[in-house]
Amino acid sequence: MPPLSPDRLLAILRSWGMLGRYLVGYSGGGDSQVLLALLAELHSRLGAPLLAVHVDHGLQPQAPAWTLHCQRACERLGVPLSVVEVRVDCRPGESLEAVARAVRYRALAGLMQAGDLLLTAHHQDDQAETLLLQLLRGSGVEGLAAMPALAAFPPGRLGRPLLDFPRESLRAYAKAAGLDWVEDPSNRDVARDRNFLRHRVLPLLRERWPACGQTLARSAGHCAEARHLIEQMTGSEIDGCAGAVPGSLSIERLCVLDEPRRRAVLRGWIVERGFLRPDVKHLERVLSEVLPARPDRNPLVRWPGCEIRRYRHQLFALAPLPPRPQVILPWSEETLCLPDGLGVLRAVPGDGSGIDPQCWWQMPKQVVFRPAERACLPLGQAHHRPLKKLYQERGVPAWLRPYVPLVLVGGELVAVADLCLCQSRWTTARGGIGLRWEGHPWPGFW
Protein backbone atom coordinates (compact mmCIF):
# COMPACT_ATOMS: atom_id res chain seq x y z
CA MET A 1 0.00 0.00 0.00
CA PRO A 2 1.25 3.57 -0.73
CA PRO A 3 2.48 5.46 2.36
CA LEU A 4 0.17 7.76 4.28
CA SER A 5 -0.02 11.15 2.58
CA PRO A 6 -2.51 13.94 1.89
CA ASP A 7 -2.97 12.71 -1.69
CA ARG A 8 -3.69 9.17 -0.53
CA LEU A 9 -6.27 10.45 1.97
CA LEU A 10 -7.90 12.65 -0.66
CA ALA A 11 -8.28 9.66 -3.00
CA ILE A 12 -10.08 7.72 -0.24
CA LEU A 13 -12.41 10.62 0.53
CA ARG A 14 -13.25 11.22 -3.12
CA SER A 15 -14.15 7.53 -3.54
CA TRP A 16 -16.83 8.01 -0.86
CA GLY A 17 -18.40 11.10 -2.43
CA MET A 18 -19.45 14.18 -0.49
CA LEU A 19 -22.70 16.11 -0.07
CA GLY A 20 -22.24 18.18 3.08
CA ARG A 21 -19.40 19.00 5.46
CA TYR A 22 -16.42 17.09 6.82
CA LEU A 23 -16.52 16.83 10.62
CA VAL A 24 -13.42 15.44 12.37
CA GLY A 25 -13.67 13.77 15.75
CA TYR A 26 -10.67 15.47 17.36
CA SER A 27 -9.50 14.33 20.80
CA GLY A 28 -6.10 15.99 20.62
CA GLY A 29 -4.39 12.57 20.78
CA GLY A 30 -1.78 11.44 18.28
CA ASP A 31 -4.07 9.64 15.83
CA SER A 32 -6.67 12.39 15.56
CA GLN A 33 -3.86 14.98 15.37
CA VAL A 34 -2.52 13.23 12.26
CA LEU A 35 -5.95 13.05 10.62
CA LEU A 36 -6.67 16.70 11.32
CA ALA A 37 -3.25 17.80 10.01
CA LEU A 38 -3.76 15.82 6.80
CA LEU A 39 -7.21 17.32 6.26
CA ALA A 40 -5.97 20.83 7.00
CA GLU A 41 -3.31 20.39 4.30
CA LEU A 42 -6.09 19.33 1.92
CA HIS A 43 -8.49 22.07 3.01
CA SER A 44 -8.55 23.94 -0.28
CA ARG A 45 -8.97 20.70 -2.27
CA LEU A 46 -11.72 19.04 -0.21
CA GLY A 47 -14.56 20.83 -1.95
CA ALA A 48 -16.56 21.04 1.29
CA PRO A 49 -16.31 22.84 4.66
CA LEU A 50 -14.11 21.29 7.35
CA LEU A 51 -14.94 21.39 11.08
CA ALA A 52 -13.10 19.82 14.02
CA VAL A 53 -15.20 18.64 16.98
CA HIS A 54 -13.72 18.04 20.43
CA VAL A 55 -15.93 16.23 22.96
CA ASP A 56 -15.02 17.00 26.58
CA HIS A 57 -16.19 14.10 28.76
CA GLY A 58 -14.91 15.73 31.96
CA LEU A 59 -13.57 12.36 33.15
CA GLN A 60 -9.92 13.38 33.59
CA PRO A 61 -8.42 16.30 35.55
CA GLN A 62 -6.43 17.15 32.42
CA ALA A 63 -9.60 17.71 30.37
CA PRO A 64 -9.40 21.56 30.38
CA ALA A 65 -5.75 21.41 29.25
CA TRP A 66 -6.69 19.02 26.43
CA THR A 67 -9.44 21.38 25.27
CA LEU A 68 -6.94 24.28 25.27
CA HIS A 69 -4.48 22.20 23.24
CA CYS A 70 -7.20 21.47 20.68
CA GLN A 71 -8.15 25.13 20.43
CA ARG A 72 -4.55 26.21 19.84
CA ALA A 73 -3.86 23.43 17.34
CA CYS A 74 -6.95 24.33 15.32
CA GLU A 75 -5.98 28.01 15.34
CA ARG A 76 -2.56 27.10 13.92
CA LEU A 77 -4.09 24.88 11.25
CA GLY A 78 -6.85 27.32 10.37
CA VAL A 79 -9.62 24.82 11.08
CA PRO A 80 -12.80 25.87 12.94
CA LEU A 81 -13.33 23.98 16.20
CA SER A 82 -16.53 23.13 18.07
CA VAL A 83 -16.14 22.01 21.71
CA VAL A 84 -18.98 19.95 23.17
CA GLU A 85 -19.17 19.24 26.90
CA VAL A 86 -21.01 16.05 27.83
CA ARG A 87 -21.93 14.23 31.00
CA VAL A 88 -21.16 10.54 31.36
CA ASP A 89 -23.47 8.71 33.78
CA CYS A 90 -22.35 5.12 34.22
CA ARG A 91 -24.76 2.71 35.91
CA PRO A 92 -23.47 -0.19 38.02
CA GLY A 93 -22.26 -3.02 35.81
CA GLU A 94 -21.78 -0.82 32.75
CA SER A 95 -18.43 -0.21 31.08
CA LEU A 96 -17.32 3.39 31.53
CA GLU A 97 -15.50 3.22 28.19
CA ALA A 98 -18.61 1.95 26.38
CA VAL A 99 -20.91 4.51 27.99
CA ALA A 100 -18.49 7.36 27.23
CA ARG A 101 -18.26 6.19 23.61
CA ALA A 102 -22.07 6.11 23.25
CA VAL A 103 -22.37 9.60 24.79
CA ARG A 104 -19.60 10.89 22.53
CA TYR A 105 -21.22 9.56 19.36
CA ARG A 106 -24.63 10.97 20.35
CA ALA A 107 -23.00 14.38 20.84
CA LEU A 108 -21.29 14.15 17.46
CA ALA A 109 -24.52 13.07 15.74
CA GLY A 110 -26.25 16.07 17.31
CA LEU A 111 -23.92 18.43 15.41
CA MET A 112 -24.38 16.75 12.05
CA GLN A 113 -26.58 17.79 9.17
CA ALA A 114 -27.90 15.73 6.28
CA GLY A 115 -25.03 14.78 3.97
CA ASP A 116 -22.27 15.42 6.53
CA LEU A 117 -19.38 12.96 6.84
CA LEU A 118 -17.95 12.39 10.32
CA LEU A 119 -14.31 11.26 10.16
CA THR A 120 -12.46 9.41 12.93
CA ALA A 121 -8.80 8.37 13.08
CA HIS A 122 -9.21 4.62 13.70
CA HIS A 123 -6.39 2.70 12.04
CA GLN A 124 -5.38 -0.87 11.24
CA ASP A 125 -4.12 -1.66 14.75
CA ASP A 126 -7.41 -0.44 16.24
CA GLN A 127 -9.20 -2.80 13.87
CA ALA A 128 -7.03 -5.75 14.98
CA GLU A 129 -7.70 -4.96 18.64
CA THR A 130 -11.43 -4.74 17.99
CA LEU A 131 -11.47 -8.11 16.21
CA LEU A 132 -9.62 -9.79 19.11
CA LEU A 133 -11.98 -8.23 21.66
CA GLN A 134 -15.00 -9.48 19.73
CA LEU A 135 -13.50 -12.97 19.44
CA LEU A 136 -12.89 -13.09 23.18
CA ARG A 137 -16.49 -12.01 23.78
CA GLY A 138 -17.81 -14.84 21.61
CA SER A 139 -19.25 -12.49 18.98
CA GLY A 140 -20.75 -13.69 15.73
CA VAL A 141 -20.13 -12.43 12.22
CA GLU A 142 -21.62 -9.00 13.01
CA GLY A 143 -19.18 -8.39 15.84
CA LEU A 144 -16.19 -9.91 14.02
CA ALA A 145 -16.75 -7.50 11.14
CA ALA A 146 -15.38 -4.95 13.63
CA MET A 147 -15.33 -1.37 12.27
CA PRO A 148 -16.46 -0.59 8.70
CA ALA A 149 -14.54 2.01 6.73
CA LEU A 150 -17.81 3.76 5.83
CA ALA A 151 -21.16 3.41 7.54
CA ALA A 152 -24.49 5.18 7.92
CA PHE A 153 -24.51 7.60 10.84
CA PRO A 154 -27.82 9.50 10.73
CA PRO A 155 -28.30 12.17 9.61
CA GLY A 156 -25.01 11.67 7.74
CA ARG A 157 -22.26 9.05 7.47
CA LEU A 158 -19.28 7.90 9.53
CA GLY A 159 -15.96 7.32 7.77
CA ARG A 160 -12.66 5.84 8.97
CA PRO A 161 -10.25 6.76 6.16
CA LEU A 162 -7.09 5.55 7.98
CA LEU A 163 -8.35 2.03 8.63
CA ASP A 164 -5.87 0.43 6.20
CA PHE A 165 -2.85 2.17 7.72
CA PRO A 166 -0.95 0.73 10.75
CA ARG A 167 -0.20 2.84 13.80
CA GLU A 168 3.45 3.03 12.69
CA SER A 169 2.43 4.91 9.52
CA LEU A 170 0.56 7.51 11.55
CA ARG A 171 3.47 7.95 13.96
CA ALA A 172 5.94 8.29 11.08
CA TYR A 173 3.80 11.01 9.50
CA ALA A 174 3.46 12.82 12.85
CA LYS A 175 7.23 12.78 13.36
CA ALA A 176 7.99 14.00 9.83
CA ALA A 177 5.40 16.79 10.16
CA GLY A 178 6.61 17.84 13.63
CA LEU A 179 3.19 17.37 15.21
CA ASP A 180 2.58 17.42 18.95
CA TRP A 181 -0.37 15.92 20.79
CA VAL A 182 -1.75 15.08 24.22
CA GLU A 183 -1.40 11.69 25.91
CA ASP A 184 -4.34 10.25 27.82
CA PRO A 185 -2.86 8.37 30.82
CA SER A 186 -5.83 5.99 30.82
CA ASN A 187 -4.49 4.55 27.54
CA ARG A 188 -1.69 2.92 29.58
CA ASP A 189 -4.04 1.27 32.05
CA VAL A 190 -3.75 -2.46 31.29
CA ALA A 191 -6.73 -3.17 33.56
CA ARG A 192 -8.79 -2.13 30.53
CA ASP A 193 -9.24 -4.94 28.02
CA ARG A 194 -8.24 -3.00 24.92
CA ASN A 195 -5.10 -1.64 26.58
CA PHE A 196 -4.15 -5.13 27.77
CA LEU A 197 -4.37 -6.40 24.20
CA ARG A 198 -2.47 -3.38 22.87
CA HIS A 199 0.42 -3.42 25.34
CA ARG A 200 0.71 -7.08 26.35
CA VAL A 201 -0.90 -9.41 23.81
CA LEU A 202 -0.32 -7.89 20.38
CA PRO A 203 3.42 -7.25 20.92
CA LEU A 204 3.80 -10.93 21.79
CA LEU A 205 1.83 -11.99 18.71
CA ARG A 206 3.98 -9.76 16.51
CA GLU A 207 7.12 -11.52 17.73
CA ARG A 208 5.84 -14.68 16.04
CA TRP A 209 3.65 -13.16 13.29
CA PRO A 210 4.99 -9.69 12.42
CA ALA A 211 2.12 -8.96 10.02
CA CYS A 212 -0.64 -10.06 12.44
CA GLY A 213 -2.21 -6.59 12.55
CA GLN A 214 -2.69 -6.64 8.79
CA THR A 215 -3.97 -10.22 8.67
CA LEU A 216 -6.40 -9.68 11.57
CA ALA A 217 -7.76 -6.58 9.84
CA ARG A 218 -8.13 -8.63 6.64
CA SER A 219 -10.17 -11.23 8.54
CA ALA A 220 -12.40 -8.44 9.82
CA GLY A 221 -12.88 -7.39 6.20
CA HIS A 222 -14.02 -10.90 5.23
CA CYS A 223 -16.53 -10.88 8.10
CA ALA A 224 -17.73 -7.43 6.99
CA GLU A 225 -18.53 -8.88 3.55
CA ALA A 226 -20.52 -11.68 5.18
CA ARG A 227 -22.34 -9.17 7.38
CA HIS A 228 -23.23 -7.10 4.34
CA LEU A 229 -24.80 -10.14 2.68
CA ILE A 230 -26.78 -10.90 5.86
CA GLU A 231 -28.00 -7.32 6.03
CA GLN A 232 -29.14 -7.45 2.41
CA MET A 233 -31.08 -10.65 3.04
CA THR A 234 -32.69 -9.42 6.26
CA GLY A 235 -33.74 -5.97 4.97
CA SER A 236 -37.01 -7.23 3.50
CA GLU A 237 -37.69 -9.35 6.58
CA ILE A 238 -37.37 -6.28 8.81
CA ASP A 239 -40.05 -4.62 6.68
CA GLY A 240 -42.18 -7.75 6.92
CA CYS A 241 -41.99 -7.68 10.73
CA ALA A 242 -42.96 -4.00 11.04
CA GLY A 243 -45.35 -3.20 13.88
CA ALA A 244 -48.35 -0.89 13.89
CA VAL A 245 -46.36 2.01 15.39
CA PRO A 246 -43.77 3.38 12.93
CA GLY A 247 -40.30 2.07 13.77
CA SER A 248 -41.58 -0.81 15.94
CA LEU A 249 -41.47 -4.56 15.31
CA SER A 250 -44.41 -6.93 15.58
CA ILE A 251 -43.47 -9.54 18.19
CA GLU A 252 -45.94 -11.98 16.70
CA ARG A 253 -44.38 -11.73 13.23
CA LEU A 254 -40.87 -11.81 14.65
CA CYS A 255 -41.50 -15.01 16.57
CA VAL A 256 -42.66 -16.80 13.41
CA LEU A 257 -39.08 -16.62 12.10
CA ASP A 258 -36.58 -19.34 12.94
CA GLU A 259 -34.02 -18.37 15.57
CA PRO A 260 -31.07 -17.40 13.32
CA ARG A 261 -33.28 -15.15 11.18
CA ARG A 262 -34.90 -13.70 14.28
CA ARG A 263 -31.49 -12.72 15.64
CA ALA A 264 -30.46 -11.22 12.30
CA VAL A 265 -33.67 -9.19 12.05
CA LEU A 266 -33.27 -7.88 15.60
CA ARG A 267 -29.67 -6.82 15.01
CA GLY A 268 -30.48 -5.21 11.68
CA TRP A 269 -33.53 -3.38 13.05
CA ILE A 270 -31.59 -2.00 16.03
CA VAL A 271 -28.81 -0.66 13.77
CA GLU A 272 -31.41 0.66 11.32
CA ARG A 273 -32.93 2.63 14.21
CA GLY A 274 -29.55 4.29 14.75
CA PHE A 275 -28.34 2.44 17.87
CA LEU A 276 -25.21 0.50 18.71
CA ARG A 277 -25.37 -3.18 17.80
CA PRO A 278 -26.06 -5.26 20.95
CA ASP A 279 -23.51 -7.77 22.18
CA VAL A 280 -24.43 -11.43 22.59
CA LYS A 281 -25.50 -11.07 26.24
CA HIS A 282 -27.95 -8.25 25.59
CA LEU A 283 -29.36 -9.83 22.44
CA GLU A 284 -30.01 -13.05 24.36
CA ARG A 285 -31.87 -11.06 27.03
CA VAL A 286 -34.11 -9.50 24.37
CA LEU A 287 -34.89 -12.97 23.03
CA SER A 288 -35.43 -14.64 26.40
CA GLU A 289 -36.92 -11.82 28.52
CA VAL A 290 -38.67 -9.31 26.28
CA LEU A 291 -40.19 -11.38 23.47
CA PRO A 292 -41.89 -14.03 25.67
CA ALA A 293 -43.09 -11.57 28.34
CA ARG A 294 -46.84 -11.22 28.88
CA PRO A 295 -48.38 -8.29 26.95
CA ASP A 296 -49.18 -6.47 30.21
CA ARG A 297 -45.56 -6.57 31.44
CA ASN A 298 -42.89 -3.92 30.89
CA PRO A 299 -39.55 -5.72 30.42
CA LEU A 300 -36.46 -3.65 29.69
CA VAL A 301 -33.05 -4.51 28.23
CA ARG A 302 -30.58 -1.69 27.80
CA TRP A 303 -27.00 -1.00 26.80
CA PRO A 304 -25.24 2.35 26.28
CA GLY A 305 -27.46 4.64 24.23
CA CYS A 306 -30.32 2.16 23.67
CA GLU A 307 -33.30 0.70 25.52
CA ILE A 308 -35.41 -2.19 24.20
CA ARG A 309 -38.98 -2.17 25.49
CA ARG A 310 -42.29 -3.71 24.54
CA TYR A 311 -45.88 -2.56 24.72
CA ARG A 312 -48.59 -5.09 24.13
CA HIS A 313 -47.44 -6.96 21.00
CA GLN A 314 -44.87 -4.49 19.70
CA LEU A 315 -41.13 -4.06 20.27
CA PHE A 316 -39.44 -0.66 20.51
CA ALA A 317 -35.81 0.50 20.34
CA LEU A 318 -35.54 3.87 22.10
CA ALA A 319 -33.00 6.33 23.36
CA PRO A 320 -32.74 6.16 27.18
CA LEU A 321 -35.70 7.83 28.86
CA PRO A 322 -34.87 11.16 30.54
CA PRO A 323 -35.36 11.70 34.30
CA ARG A 324 -39.02 11.78 35.24
CA PRO A 325 -40.09 15.43 35.36
CA GLN A 326 -41.15 16.59 38.82
CA VAL A 327 -41.82 20.22 37.94
CA ILE A 328 -44.91 22.43 37.79
CA LEU A 329 -44.57 24.81 34.84
CA PRO A 330 -46.47 28.09 34.58
CA TRP A 331 -47.67 28.82 31.03
CA SER A 332 -48.26 32.36 29.79
CA GLU A 333 -47.23 32.47 26.10
CA GLU A 334 -48.46 30.62 23.01
CA THR A 335 -45.59 28.14 23.25
CA LEU A 336 -44.20 26.39 26.33
CA CYS A 337 -40.80 24.64 26.21
CA LEU A 338 -40.82 21.45 28.27
CA PRO A 339 -37.75 20.19 30.20
CA ASP A 340 -35.30 17.39 29.35
CA GLY A 341 -35.91 17.31 25.61
CA LEU A 342 -39.66 16.65 25.95
CA GLY A 343 -40.47 19.12 23.19
CA VAL A 344 -42.92 22.02 23.25
CA LEU A 345 -46.63 22.59 23.81
CA ARG A 346 -48.36 25.03 21.47
CA ALA A 347 -51.73 26.75 21.73
CA VAL A 348 -53.37 26.61 18.28
CA PRO A 349 -56.85 27.32 16.88
CA GLY A 350 -59.03 24.39 17.82
CA ASP A 351 -60.76 22.14 15.34
CA GLY A 352 -64.26 22.79 16.64
CA SER A 353 -64.13 21.97 20.35
CA GLY A 354 -61.38 23.31 22.58
CA ILE A 355 -60.57 25.53 25.53
CA ASP A 356 -62.55 28.78 25.80
CA PRO A 357 -60.22 31.48 24.36
CA GLN A 358 -61.18 34.13 26.90
CA CYS A 359 -60.54 31.81 29.81
CA TRP A 360 -57.33 30.54 28.18
CA TRP A 361 -55.72 33.96 27.98
CA GLN A 362 -57.06 35.29 31.31
CA MET A 363 -56.87 32.35 33.70
CA PRO A 364 -53.61 31.03 35.21
CA LYS A 365 -52.31 27.97 33.36
CA GLN A 366 -49.94 25.24 34.50
CA VAL A 367 -48.41 22.06 33.10
CA VAL A 368 -47.79 19.11 35.42
CA PHE A 369 -46.76 15.50 34.92
CA ARG A 370 -48.59 12.36 36.08
CA PRO A 371 -50.44 13.26 39.29
CA ALA A 372 -51.79 9.82 40.18
CA GLU A 373 -55.07 11.12 41.56
CA ARG A 374 -56.14 12.85 38.34
CA ALA A 375 -59.07 11.70 36.22
CA CYS A 376 -60.49 13.07 32.99
CA LEU A 377 -63.99 13.29 31.57
CA PRO A 378 -63.27 13.27 27.82
CA LEU A 379 -65.18 16.04 26.07
CA GLY A 380 -68.46 14.72 24.69
CA GLN A 381 -68.50 11.54 26.81
CA ALA A 382 -70.53 10.61 29.87
CA HIS A 383 -68.05 9.03 32.30
CA HIS A 384 -64.84 10.06 34.00
CA ARG A 385 -61.78 7.88 33.44
CA PRO A 386 -58.69 7.62 35.62
CA LEU A 387 -55.66 8.63 33.58
CA LYS A 388 -54.37 5.05 33.72
CA LYS A 389 -57.55 3.83 32.04
CA LEU A 390 -57.46 6.64 29.48
CA TYR A 391 -53.85 5.81 28.58
CA GLN A 392 -54.71 2.13 28.18
CA GLU A 393 -57.59 3.00 25.83
CA ARG A 394 -55.41 5.30 23.75
CA GLY A 395 -52.45 2.87 23.59
CA VAL A 396 -49.93 4.92 25.60
CA PRO A 397 -47.29 2.58 27.11
CA ALA A 398 -46.81 2.60 30.89
CA TRP A 399 -43.15 3.67 30.51
CA LEU A 400 -44.20 6.75 28.52
CA ARG A 401 -47.01 7.98 30.76
CA PRO A 402 -44.86 9.89 33.30
CA TYR A 403 -43.69 12.19 30.49
CA VAL A 404 -47.11 13.18 29.13
CA PRO A 405 -47.78 16.88 29.94
CA LEU A 406 -51.10 17.59 31.63
CA VAL A 407 -52.57 21.09 31.16
CA LEU A 408 -54.43 22.78 34.01
CA VAL A 409 -56.45 25.99 33.69
CA GLY A 410 -57.53 27.57 36.96
CA GLY A 411 -56.42 24.38 38.71
CA GLU A 412 -58.69 22.13 36.59
CA LEU A 413 -57.40 19.48 34.19
CA VAL A 414 -58.41 20.57 30.68
CA ALA A 415 -56.12 18.50 28.42
CA VAL A 416 -53.88 15.45 28.42
CA ALA A 417 -51.25 16.81 26.02
CA ASP A 418 -52.94 16.79 22.60
CA LEU A 419 -54.30 13.31 23.27
CA CYS A 420 -57.58 14.27 24.91
CA LEU A 421 -59.59 17.36 25.92
CA CYS A 422 -61.31 17.06 29.30
CA GLN A 423 -64.73 18.42 30.14
CA SER A 424 -64.44 21.40 32.50
CA ARG A 425 -65.74 24.92 33.10
CA TRP A 426 -63.16 26.15 30.60
CA THR A 427 -63.81 23.89 27.60
CA THR A 428 -66.25 24.62 24.82
CA ALA A 429 -67.80 22.60 22.03
CA ARG A 430 -66.92 25.14 19.34
CA GLY A 431 -64.34 27.76 18.49
CA GLY A 432 -61.89 26.89 21.23
CA ILE A 433 -58.12 26.75 21.72
CA GLY A 434 -56.47 23.47 20.78
CA LEU A 435 -53.07 22.07 21.78
CA ARG A 436 -50.16 20.52 19.93
CA TRP A 437 -47.35 18.55 21.58
CA GLU A 438 -44.37 18.69 19.23
CA GLY A 439 -40.68 17.83 19.25
CA HIS A 440 -40.91 14.97 21.74
CA PRO A 441 -39.03 11.69 21.14
CA TRP A 442 -42.14 9.51 20.64
CA PRO A 443 -44.12 10.80 17.62
CA GLY A 444 -45.31 7.31 16.70
CA PHE A 445 -47.62 7.19 19.71
CA TRP A 446 -49.58 10.30 18.68
CATH number at residue 282: 1.20.59.20
- The model's confidence at residue 2, banded by pLDDT at 50, 70 and 90, is low
pLDDT of amino acid 187: 86
Mean pLDDT of 108-132: 93
- Give the pLDDT score at 429: 65
Domain membership of residue 226 (yes or no) is no
Say which residue, 58 or 164, is predicted with more confidence. 164
Same-domain pairing of 140 and 209: yes
Can you give the pLDDT at residue 445? 67
Nearest partner of 320 among 308, 337, 332, judged by Cα: 308
55, 176: one domain: yes
In a domain, 31, yes or no: yes
CB 410, CB 426: distance < 8 Å: yes
**CB proximity list for 107: less than 8 A, separation 6 or greater:** 55, 84, 86
Query: Which H or E run includes 433?
Result: strand 433-438
pTM for this entry: 0.67
Residues with Cβ < 8 Å from 236, sequence gap 6 or more? none
CATH number of the domain residue 69 falls in: 3.40.50.620
For the segment 200-216, what is each residue's pLDDT rounded down to a tens digit? 999 999 999 999 999 99
How many domains are there within the chain?
3
Q: Is residue 59 part of a domain?
A: yes
Considering the domain architecture, whether residues 197 and 279 belong to the same structural domain is answered as: no
Q: Does 320 reside within a domain?
A: no
Mean pLDDT of the chain: 88
The domain of 287 spans 241-314
Would 100 be classed as within a structural domain? yes
